[in-house]
Amino acid sequence: MPGKIRKIDENRWELPQSFRPGMRVPGIVYADDSLMRDIREDQALEQVANVACLPGIVKASIAMPDIHWGYGFPIGGVAATRVKDGVVSPGGVGFDINCGVRLLRTDLMEADVRPRLDELVTNLFNNVPSGVGSSGKVRLSAKEIEQVMRKGGRWAVEQGWGDADDLEVTEESGTLAGSQPDLISKRARERGAPQLGTLGSGNHFLEVQAVETIYDADAASAMGIEQIGQVTVLIHCGSRGLGHQVCDDYLKVMDAARSRYGIELPDRQLACAPVESKEGRDYLASLACAANFAWANRQCIAHWTRQAFEQVFGQSWRRMGMRQVYDVAHNIAKIERHTVDGKSMRVCVHRKGATRSFPPGHDEVPARYREVGQPVLIPGDMGRYSFLAVGVATAMEETFGSTCHGAGRLKSRSAARRELKGRDIAAELREQGIVVRAASRKGLLEEASMAYKDVAQVIDVAEAAGLVKKVAKMRPMGVVKG
Amino acid sequence: MWSAGAAYNSRVRSSRERVIETGFRILEHTADAAIEATGKDLRQLFANAARGMFQVITELDSIGETLARDVSADAADREALLVAWLNEFVYLFDVENILFRRFEIGELTETMVKGRAFGEPIDHGRHDVKTAIKSTTYHGLSITGGGDGYRARVIFDV
């Protein structure tokens, strides 16, 4: 049986190395008493401890306030491993490589959009393919998918879908270096080729929002968020079948390599190989291909979102000020430089359901945000609100520059369906002023507000612990679900 | 040896489990989807696990049989083989949008399976497709039993 956990302060808990045998570092969980009660309900803490067993892990196996039971790594987990003698684990990223969030701002106000909201949401639903089995408007040729995997968001911009400004405010400028498309399997290509520019299903969405609260006017202004009622658009999706297959392919590779490297693991889903091994290097080069596909995907979707607004409001997207605020990944592994025990070192940072949160002044933060910090996008459930925030210095010191990524599920999908049986969620949301279009009725039940934790509680803990700073809160007006 | 399967078994909230149909049931999992499949032998177990997977995706009863596909998979051991077998259908679903409802297992060893699956392409008018499955995971994966019957637990990333 697992050992005891120790409360460090109001927002931090420690899983000492005695929690389970084989832990190389302690676990640190960011949560208050109330969140911890939910976290203890399932196996997330055991997973934090399992991750602490990975060879070469430094400092701690870290869990964000939105942590919940995943497979292998918990969702909301962060782990950094030494490049020189540590491992990289595809399970530390997950199947949806570079699942992430993109925020667009507009000059429109809620009063402008409200009268046309139904039409707008229908237009978005028709313009942006969503749901299971949806195909994109582009079907990539063999040559094109190579380019997508190499260039990422830049490929889409070269097609005329968006502009260079979008890339400036995308993590890694929308192109993760080191991609090697020749490593990508035929299956991954087949799965990805018809799916570029699709939202997918599950918790992915496209949301029209109105700014409800501004907490930090200077930071908000730097991001083009000037007033209450201003309309924004939030897009949440990832690398679709291409990323899923890359993860599959490398789980097999790593599983087979395990015995060769003498790696013993508490969970097979944590399969890993040394960062500096052929398997490790190949995985990171393949991950870059999938990450780039995801950035191209969100770039396409942002473009079609702008087109839908153009069709409804009869103005060009530039005239409506539909600039991108930021695009950030929350399922990714990257080699970064961090200070550990007073020493600067290269580490492989796994963020699985965790958002990069780099502070003001960091080189990786786009020039226009260098003074305020990297924008952090934290979506909530479709009935409540989402947050715009910025990275802070404490995150750099404590969590390898990472923070939470969303609300986190509270109820299983089947529990949500069972408890909401017979309810018309779309009609209930409409009562609240939220127009929803979803590809699946049952899918909509599974994604209802009550199935999620309150994202405000999650971000308040993250902020109190110094992992992020709130800038603005947006509430949903219109939602497109897969 | 790997033993996370046993830990998982003891922690599933059995009070909330729901029997859907003989041969498999859907288990509670907070973020993803899990099933338990049973079979009098491994052949039936593999077939029922695939049926359970399509029940996670849509209502199994809504799927017709208008086409068949030969499906095969190989892997290093029995557990990995079950993952590989199920992922064949994830792939066919993703690339060809086919829903399957019936599975016949031909050859089956510890490391190789050959079978035939029957189903039809998605028709959004008739099939309420709740969710796609990104992949079958190794987390909490177990196949237990022997002579008088087998039981498997599988978690899917949805």
Interchain proximity B139–A72, CB inside 8 Å: yes
* Residue of A153, A131, A80, A151 whose CA lies nearest to A352: A80
CB contact under 8 A, B155 and A409: no
What is the C-alpha to C-alpha distance for residues B15 and B153, in angstroms, rounded to an integer? 16
Closest residue, chain B, to A90 (C-alpha)? B137
- Sequence spans of domains, chain A: 6-133+196-234+308-321+328-481
Probe site for chain B from A50, A125, A263, A268 (most B CB atoms < 10 A): A268
Q: Which residue of A lies nearest to B123 if distances are taken between CA atoms?
A: A133
Tell me how close the Cα of B38 comes to any Cα of chain A, in angstroms: 20
Label residue A259 by pLDDT band (50, 70, 90).
confident
* Between A278 and A202, the higher pLDDT residue: A278
The answer to whether A297 and A199 are in contact (CB under 8 A) is no
Q: Are A354 and A402 in contact (CB under 8 A)?
A: yes
- Comparing CB atoms, the residue among A131, A187, A265 nearest residue B91 is A187
User: Could you give the CA distance from residue A456 to residue A465 in angstroms, rounded to a whole number?
Assistant: 14
For residue A78, what are the β-bridge partners?
A62, A351
Residue A191 sits at the chain B interface (C-beta within 8 Å): yes
The 3 state secondary structure assigned to A158-194 is: HCCCCCHHHHHCEHHHHCCCCCCHHHCCHHHHHHHHH
Mean pLDDT of A53-68: 97
- For the segment A263-286, the average pLDDT, to the nearest whole number, is 96
Question: Does B29 touch chain A if contact means CB atoms closer than 8 Å?
Answer: yes
Which of B129, B141, B155 is facing A132, going by the closest CB pair? B129
**pLDDT tens-place string over residues A321-368:** 999 999 999 999 999 999 999 999 999 999 999 999 999 999 999 999
ipTM for the predicted complex comes to 0.91
Closest by CA position to A424, among listed A447, A444, A449: A444
Determine contact, residues A222/A385, Cβ cutoff 8 Å. no
Calculate helix-pair angle for A240-261, A278-313, nearest 10 degrees: 170
DSSP conformational letter for A24: S
> What are A195-248's pLDDT values in tens digits?
999 998 888 999 999 999 999 999 999 999 999 999 999 999 999 999 999 999
pLDDT band at residue A108 under the 50/70/90 scheme? very high
A238 part of contact set with chain B, CB < 8 Å: no
Which domains can be identified in chain B, with CATH numbers?
27-157 (3.55.10.10)
Nearest to A95 among B29, B30, B135 (CB): B135
pLDDT value of position B17: 42
User: CA geometry: angle at B59 spanning B55 and B62, to 5°?
Assistant: 130
- To probe the interface with A, which of B8, B59, B138, B153 has the most A CB atoms within 10 Å? B138
Which residues of chain B does A421 touch, with a Cβ-Cβ cutoff of 8 Å? Answer: none
- The answer to whether residue A122 neighbours chain B at the CB level (below 8 Å) is no
Cβ count near B40 (within 10 Å): 14
C-alpha distance from B151 to closest chain A C-alpha (Å): 19
- Look at residue A437 and tell me whether its pLDDT is greater than 50: yes
- Our CA angle for A372, A373, A374, nearest 5°, is 135
The dihedral sign for the CA sequence A256, A257, A259, A260: positive
**DSSP annotation of A57:** B
Q: Is A401 left (phi over 0), alpha (psi -120 to 50) or beta?
A: left
Q: Does A72 touch chain B (CB under 8 A)?
A: yes
State the burial class of residue B10 (Cβ atoms within 10 Å of its Cβ: 0-12, 13-18, 19+). exposed
Distance of CA B13 to the CA centre of its chain: 20
Q: Is A244 a catalytic residue?
A: no
Per CATH, the architecture of A6-133+196-234+308-321+328-481 is what? Alpha-Beta Complex (3.90)
Residue B46, burial from CB neighbour count under 10 angstroms (0-12, 13-18, 19+): buried
Min Cα–Cα distance to chain B from A192, Å: 9
Q: Which stretch of DSSP H or E encloses residue A334?
A: strand A331-340
Q: Is the pLDDT of residue A414 over 70?
A: yes
Nearest to B137 among A71, A202, A245 (CB): A71
**Is A255–B57 a contact, with Cβ atoms under 8 angstroms apart?**
no
Which of A132, A135, A252 best tests the B interface by mutation, with the highest count of B CBs <10 A?
A: A132
How distant is the Cα of B27 from the closest Cα of chain A, in angstroms?
Answer: 8
Residues 356-385 of A with CB under 8 A from B: none
* Closest-CA residue to A387 (of A304, A278, A469): A469
How far apart CA A346 and CA A119 sit, in angstroms, is 50
Q: Please, which residues 427-456 of chain A have a Cβ atom closer than 8 Å to chain B? A: 439-443, 446
Q: For B93, which residue in chain A has the nearest alpha carbon?
A: A133
> Contact B31/A187, CB-based, under 8 Å?
no
CA separation for the pair A113, A433 (Å, rounded): 12
Per-residue confidence in pLDDT tens, chain B, 158 aa:
222 333 333 333 333 344 434 799 988 777 788 999 999 999 999 999 999 999 999 999 999 999 999 999 999 999 999 999 999 999 999 999 999 999 999 999 999 999 999 999 999 889 988 888 999 999 989 999 988 899 999 999 98
Among B79, B122, B131, the residue with its CB nearest the CB of A443 is B131
Q: Which of B4, B33, B95 sits opposite A267 (nearest CB)?
A: B4
> Is any Cβ of chain A less than 8 angstroms from the Cβ of B91?
yes
Per-residue confidence at A2, pLDDT binned at 50, 70, 90?
low
What's the confidence (pLDDT) of residue A136? 75
The 3-state DSSP class for residue A356 equals strand
Contacts (Cβ under 8 Å, ≥6 apart) of A228: A211, A212, A213, A214
Measured in angstroms, the CA of B138 and the nearest CA of chain A are apart by 5
Largest CA distance in chain A: 63
* CB-based contact A415 B138, cutoff 8 Å: no
